[in-house]
Amino acid sequence: MHRTNHRIWRLIVALMLTLLLLSAFWSVQAQGGTLRVGVVAPQVLDPALGSNDSEVLFNRSIYDYLIEVLPDKSLAPNLATAWTISEDGLTYTFTLRDAVTFHDGSSFSSADVVFTFNRLKEIQSPALNLLGEFEVSAPDASTVVFTIPAPNADFLYGVADRFALILKDGTSAPNELTEGSAAFANFNGTGPFMLSEYREGERAVLTRNPNYWKVGQPLLDSVEFVFINDPVTQVNAIRSGEVDFIFKISPDLFSTLEGETTVTMLQKATNQHPVIRLRTDVGPGQDVRVRQAFKYATDREQLNDLVLEGRGVIGNNDPIGPSFGVFFDSSIQNPDYDPAKACELLAEAGYPDGLQMTLQTINVLGYDQLATVLREQWEPACIKVEIQVNEEGFYYSDDNPDNWLKAELGITGWGDRPVPQGYLAQAYASSGIYNETHWSDPELDALIQQASVTTDTEARVAVYHQIAAIFNERGPIIIPWFAPVFGAVRRNVEGLDMAPFPGLTDLRSVSVVG
């Protein structure tokens, strides 16, 4: 009897050990897998210059930020564990994380941070629009100090800018492919994944960094970026299971996916918006009366209803949307739709027979549909347009001789930014690197500069409201809506929190089950 009981207990213990091993095995399996992301093909791979979502997501998977912006717009430690700001607001001191290595096995130190931020200045990265003027130094291997000449209310957001990914000191050709066995040696980050395959126009494969500094992360074994430029094809790919995650889905395509049982729909409130804009340095847009005519020719409520299915929020014709709270000026009186008034203004500006122009747009987010509805609204307002639809990557590419910065009349998609200065300094200051309207207004420039150094909220509100008034009076842009961003993910994907700017989505805590 005693021997029988002993055998039974041994069987029970063996069974329990087997179950524990199986549980551990399935836990590892659940936390691994490959995430396949359907994105438009990246055009600019340099981390300091690649600006669209696919480029940013690719780079943030390979590299790390010093500090980062979370989906709720708050700031969090990353390669820096802490920071302090001097009482006068001119010195920022960062303490760096230790025991961090690059993919090539070399150690991360303050020299890498100094190199990265000095390089941003050397190549005039868009990150400078928030960073402004600064000097960066390294008193020791684990400390970095930034000094600035005047207070900068958004300096920390500049440090966390999507272009400010940390490179290894001395990197001369970041993200340039080479020949031979070391083809990916220039993709050398501290990030959660390492590039293992890149086929231009087809796909990129990243594998898990086994020495990543964040304990237990990443969970995924690999990430595969599948380059799909056509939005309809992206939707079909997630429906069929060819990819696991897509984003920046147009509202009409989003609606077609809502009944899919294998897909979870994602929607995030954002300050994302299309900008309908005229160049002000050439053509009809030089005349303020023409700019006003376009505003009277545009029914923004109808655009929101027809193109965005009423999902957007109507704001003003400036980039400071309602999601920015008190910075948004709700007292602005925007022009109502009045085609006759538009025709009258065009005649006064020297266009008695109206305008004939080409409207450039892109094939994502429903902006091609937006262009079609605009053409219908504008025709009775004495504005006739021919629509030219471009693939998103090509439209924003420097290789395109008629890209978004050169079109006389165009629609541009602007993603979410954590602070208004992210738009104003980049796109509307005379010196802004993305000043697509080529607008140069000294009063506006002075106010944008004033806002950058104004740390008192009430005083900053007053500045932003003055800026909104200038846009309303003589601005060359129309913003039909501020939109949520739409995405979709397969139901076997866990832990994915799509960022308002989808390219900043953190894949470290994501896993694919089964």
pLDDT, mean of residues 88-114: 97
Contacts 24+ apart (CB under 8 A), 101-106: 101/190, 101/211, 101/213, 102/168, 102/188, 102/189, 102/190, 103/62, 103/187, 103/188, 103/189, 103/190, 103/194, 103/209, 104/168, 104/185, 104/188, 105/211, 106/168
pLDDT, mean of residues 463-485: 96
* Backbone torsions φ then ψ of 165, nearest 5 degrees: -75, 140
Instruction: Kindly indicate the confidence band of residue 399, based on its pLDDT and cuts at 50, 70 and 90.
Output: confident
Q: Which residues neighbour 24 within 8 Å (Cβ) at sequence distance 6 or greater?
A: none
pLDDT tens string 29-40: 446 899 999 999
pLDDT, mean of residues 163-169: 97
Quote the pLDDT of residue 56: 96
CATH no., domain 64-159: 3.90.76.10
CB atoms within 10 A of CB 203: 17
Is the per-residue pLDDT at 173 higher than 60?
yes
Pairing of strands 263-278, 245-247: unpaired
Is the per-residue pLDDT at 16 higher than 60?
no
Asked if residue 352 has a cis previous peptide bond (ω within 30° of 0), the answer is: no
Quote the pLDDT of residue 8: 53
Quote the pLDDT of residue 24: 41
Quote the pLDDT of residue 22: 43
Higher-scoring residue by pLDDT: 1, 468: 468
Instruction: Kindly indicate the confidence band of residue 403, based on its pLDDT and cuts at 50, 70 and 90.
Output: confident
C-alpha to C-alpha distance for 409 and 266, rounded to whole angstroms: 32
Quote the pLDDT of residue 455: 87
Query: What is the CA angle 478-480-485, rounded to 5?
Result: 125
Q: 270-483, which class in CATH?
A: alpha beta
Position of tokens 């039974």? 8
Which H or E element spans position 144?
Answer: strand 143-147
Secondary structure string (H, E, C) spanning 206-219: EEECCCCCCCCCCC
Architecture of the domain made up of 34-41+176-268+485-512: 3-Layer(aba) Sandwich (3.40)
CB atoms within 10 A of CB 207: 17
Quote the pLDDT of residue 347: 98
C-alpha to C-alpha distance for 93 and 84, rounded to whole angstroms: 5
Give the type of residue at 393.
G
Q: Where are the domains of the chain?
A: 34-41+176-268+485-512, 64-159, 270-483
Quote the pLDDT of residue 234: 96
C-alpha to C-alpha distance for 303 and 59, rounded to whole angstroms: 35
Q: Are 221 and 35 in contact (CB under 8 A)?
A: no
Provide, rounded to the nearest whole percent, the portion of the chain with pLDDT above 90: 80
